[in-house]
Structure 1
Amino acid sequence: MRSVTLRPRNDGADKPSATIASVISACERLLNKGESFTTLSIEQLAKEAGIARATFYLHFRNKGEIVRHLMAQVGREVRHAAKAKLANLDQFGRAEFLSFMEDAVDIQYRHRAAMRATVELSAYDPGVAEIYRSFVDEVVHDFRRIIVKLEAAGGAHPDVRPEVADILSWATERSCAQMLRDEDTPERRQQLAELLTHVVWSAIARPAWEPGGKAVIRS
């Protein structure tokens, strides 16, 4: 099994100011109402956020910068969930990973309109494409950290390779983007989390019982 090496990471932007947070929330509300990001005007955003148009430009150079803050917010929430659910190696197993995946699916569901807008814009805006790629790279980093923890505990799949984290990250993000719908129920989101856990955990973790009958990690 090839060892997984972690690269240094940038945890992204600091927590946004109250005004930036207000604009981000306003943008998501408008997107959730069915507005298209490409046709949203600065006037609409400022009005929804309860600020003056001039105030908007004190915090954003252009509308595209909102996307960077939106994706940074999603990234912070995912990293917080990973830290909360997967930090304790002594209690780290499939059940804890499922709990993390439930949170990750719920986060993507809450921000589904913003995620869709980002994917749409990334097709023709190189700057947004880089933001989107950076977001997925952070997910890759989180999956690699999980693999490293499993390796340290002797619980990593014997055939796991570093590139597995890349494939699983894109598969998870694309599955959420394609399978989450506005009308989804908590039960359906739970089902998606369970399916993703099955796919990811089967790829990165050693089976609960190896030949010889010794359990190497709780599942």
Structure 2
Amino acid sequence: MEPAPPRPLQLSHAQRRGMLSRHFVAVVEKLVEGGATYADLSVEAIIKAGGISRSTFYVYFNDKGDLLVAMAADVIGDLVSTGSAWWDLPADATKADLHAGLRIPIDTYREHRTILGTVVETAAYDPRVREQHQSLINQVVPALADYIARAQVAGTADPELDAERTARWLVWMIERGLYQLVGTVDDDEVSRELDALTDILWRVVYRRTAD
């Protein structure tokens, strides 16, 4: 018999903050998709749409920048975990495997594109959000570099690549591409962008030219 989930009174401050941030992801996405920008949203507008009191909001968040940091932690965590669909592939993965692996984080990005786009835009002037955004890169680059290095040892990746620097360039390229090219396009265009990204990565990383 599995233990019962903790009652609300048993939740820690961090757990409650996490629950509220996840609640606000959908709230803020709806507001921004309705035409507002996060920079122009007031705390009052956010908490009214979220259905909580002002006092409750300030128990868990210092301001709306702090809320965005908390929401970013959730969606970035989702993106990082789904990104492993690429670097968890076996060294002898096919081009079709790579295509399928890349589809997963792209779909996750599209699901959370409003929050992730807001993170990119807010990072330009809020150091807290910029640090959270940088954490995405810091988590992904070592994992991808390790994958490239392992594939080099296995003989399926270009042995002349600098694994760490190649991973760094690829991750930043993909991050910018998701924001600029994938976030607002329709399903057909996403498929074409995915095909192009697969071609690029296949030619850059892998020694093989055949599927």
Q: TM-score, normalised by structure 1?
A: 0.78
More helix by share: 2
- Counterparts of 2:91 and 2:169, CA distance in 1: 27
2:167 to 165, 168, 171: 165
SS in 1 for 2:39: helix
Q: Residue 127 and residue 19 in structure 1: after superposition, are their counterparts in 2 closer, same or farther (change >3 A)?
A: closer
User: C-alpha separation between the residues in 1 aligned to 2:102 and 2:64?
Assistant: 31
Shift of 1:37: 0.7
Deviation at 1:71, TM superposition (A): 2.6
Mapped contact 1:82–1:142 kept (Cα < 8 A): no
The alignment partner of 2:157 has SS state of coil
Q: Is the 1:75–1:138 contact (alpha carbons within 8 Å) kept by the matching residues of 2?
A: no
Which whole-Å deviations, capped at 9, do the CAs of 1:123-179 have from their partners, x for residues lacking one? 222222222222222232332233133134321112211201111111111111111
Write out aligned runs for 1:126-137 (5 A): 126-137=127-138
- Higher RCO (CA < 8 A, seq sep 6+): 1
The residue type equivalent to 2:174 in the other structure is T
Q: Cα deviation per residue 1:177-196 (whole Å; 9 max; x = unaligned)?
A: 111353x2212111111111
The 3-state SS of whatever aligns with 1:173 is helix
Aligned residue in 1 for 2:31: 30
1:174 is aligned, of 173, 176, 193, to 176
Alignment of 1:39-54 (within 5 A): 39-54=40-55
- The answer as to whether partners of 1:106 and 1:189 remain within 8 angstroms in 2 is no
TM-score w.r.t. structure 2 length? 0.81
* 2:20 matched residue in structure 1: 19
Q: Distance in 2 between matches of 1:134 and 1:16?
A: 20
Gaps of 5+ in 1: 1-12, 210-218
Unaligned runs of 5+ in 2: 1-13
Q: Partner residue of 1:199?
A: 200
CA separation of 1:79 and 1:125: change in aligned 2, threshold 3 A: closer
Mapped to 1, the partners of 2:178 and 2:42 lie a distance apart of 28
Segment drifting more, 108-117 vs 22-31: 108-117
Instruction: Name the % identity.
Output: 25
User: Number of matched residues?
Assistant: 197
How far has the Cα of 1:38 moved from its partner?
1.0
State the distance in 1 between where 2:61 and 2:42 align: 13
1:107-136: CA deviations, max 9, x gaps?
222222222222222222222222222222
